[in-house]
């Protein structure tokens, strides 16, 4: 599928012109993509150049901070690479939130086209295995640029919601967030956040477990999105500002943040899907097939 770094040579073709050259679709509706015909995403190329192993402190320069690029409050107390955590990116957010119109920290790269973002992350509390403050979460996000006034993004995160030990997938369209949660163990997790045509999807794998589909959403996102990592914490401390995101976003809310996140790597790949398959339709692309299409062959 098409994918490139924003600002580079324009990609030729559209979703309908990509694929693996499989059989023509049936006369009515999408065809069914079977597991034996599905192909895992391909590494390398232009989009692969955005992948980061966080092996040295120099890798920090590849990543932009939303607070810098869109002139917002800096809600990250700590951000470094190969310093606090050897061979990893490390983040500690201040009191913050990504929900409806509320804004939190975000570290990203601008990428265009169809993308698979694959990362390994660990989210902990500052003094324990799990964050204690409500809605303290960290993970992956893909966001429409310059969308402060009309927020549009998708994410998959882990940590504490109302309950400790959760994975949350969330679609926010025009400032309205729709989260979905499942129970999760502590420790390292692998996440995938992907876009193929009009579909975005979130997948996860707990350490020693199997890949699972958290959600898939129909979206109308533009060609270029911001792809990266987010961490936010301490919804409790917003108090009366929970009803007024504009006032909350205008300043740093003082509270008791309780989250630290370690990111082992972030890798970008190109999804491959035959023309006839509709990834928004589980009858056309079942969950086990979507997993094969959106997760690296060796993951």
- Distance separating alpha carbons of residues 157 and 230, to the nearest angstrom: 8
pLDDT band at 29, cuts 50/70/90?
A: low
pLDDT band at 5, cuts 50/70/90?
A: very low
Mean pLDDT in the chain? 91
Record the pTM: 0.90
Q: Check residue 19 and give its pLDDT.
A: 37
Please say whether the beta carbons of 93 and 257 come within 8 A.
Answer: yes
- Mean per-residue pLDDT, 89-112: 98
- Mean per-residue pLDDT, 277-296: 97
**CB within 8 A of 52, min separation 6: which ones?**
59, 62, 63, 89, 265, 266, 267
pLDDT band at 295, cuts 50/70/90?
A: very high
- Mean per-residue pLDDT, 78-86: 98
- Distance separating alpha carbons of residues 65 and 183, to the nearest angstrom: 30
- Mean per-residue pLDDT, 95-116: 98
> pLDDT at residue 279 above 50?
yes
pLDDT band at 46, cuts 50/70/90?
A: confident
Q: Check residue 135 and give its pLDDT.
A: 98
> pLDDT at residue 32 above 60?
yes
- Mean per-residue pLDDT, 234-251: 97
Please say whether the beta carbons of 153 and 103 come within 8 A.
Answer: no
Q: Check residue 30 and give its pLDDT.
A: 74
- Distance separating alpha carbons of residues 203 and 191, to the nearest angstrom: 6
- Distance separating alpha carbons of residues 104 and 238, to the nearest angstrom: 13
Q: Check residue 89 and give its pLDDT.
A: 98
The DSSP string of 42-80 is BP-HHHHTT-B---SGGGGGG-EEHHHHTT----EEEEE
| pLDDT tens digits, 157-174 | 999 999 999 999 999 999
Domains plus CATH for the chain? 3-10+31-294 (2.60.120.200)
> pLDDT at residue 23 above 90?
no
Q: Which two tokens stand for residue 292?
A: 């094969």
- Distance separating alpha carbons of residues 293 and 58, to the nearest angstrom: 32
- Distance separating alpha carbons of residues 9 and 157, to the nearest angstrom: 32
Q: Check residue 117 and give its pLDDT.
A: 98
């Amino acid at each position: 599928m098409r994918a490139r770094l924003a600002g580079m040579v324009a990609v030729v073709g559209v979703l309908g012109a990509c694929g693996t050259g499989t059989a023509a679709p049936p006369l009515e509706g999408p065809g069914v993509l079977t597991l034996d015909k599905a192909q895992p995403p391909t590494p390398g190329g232009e989009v692969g150049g955005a992948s980061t192993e966080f092996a040295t402190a120099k890798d920090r320069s590849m990543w932009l901070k939303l607070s810098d690029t869109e002139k917002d409050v800096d809600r990250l107390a700590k951000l470094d690479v190969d310093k606090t955590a050897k061979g990893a990116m490390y983040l500690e957010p201040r009191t913050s939130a990504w929900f409806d119109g509320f804004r939190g920290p975000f570290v990203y790269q601008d990428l265009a086209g169809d993308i698979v973002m694959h990362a390994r992350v660990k989210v902990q509390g500052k003094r324990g295995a799990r964050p204690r403050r409500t809605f303290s979460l960290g993970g992956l996000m893909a966001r429409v640029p310059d969308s402060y006034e009309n927020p549009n993004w998708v994410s998959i995160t882990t940590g504490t919601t109302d309950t400790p030990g959760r994975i949350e997938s969330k679609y926010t369209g025009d400032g309205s967030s729709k989260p979905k949660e499942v129970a999760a163990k502590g420790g390292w997790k692998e996440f995938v956040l992907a876009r193929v045509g009009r579909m975005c999807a979130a997948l996860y794998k707990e350490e020693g477990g199997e890949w699972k589909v958290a959600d898939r959403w129909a979206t109308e996102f533009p060609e270029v999105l911001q792809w990266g990592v987010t961490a936010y914490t301490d919804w409790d401390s917003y108090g009366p500002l929970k009803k007024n995101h504009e006032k909350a976003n205008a300043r740093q809310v003082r509270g008791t943040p309780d989250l630290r996140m370690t990111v082992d790597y972030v890798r970008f790949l190109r999804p491959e899907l035959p023309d006839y398959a509709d990834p928004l339709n589980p009858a056309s692309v079942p969950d086990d097939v979507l997993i094969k299409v959106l997760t690296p062959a060796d993951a």
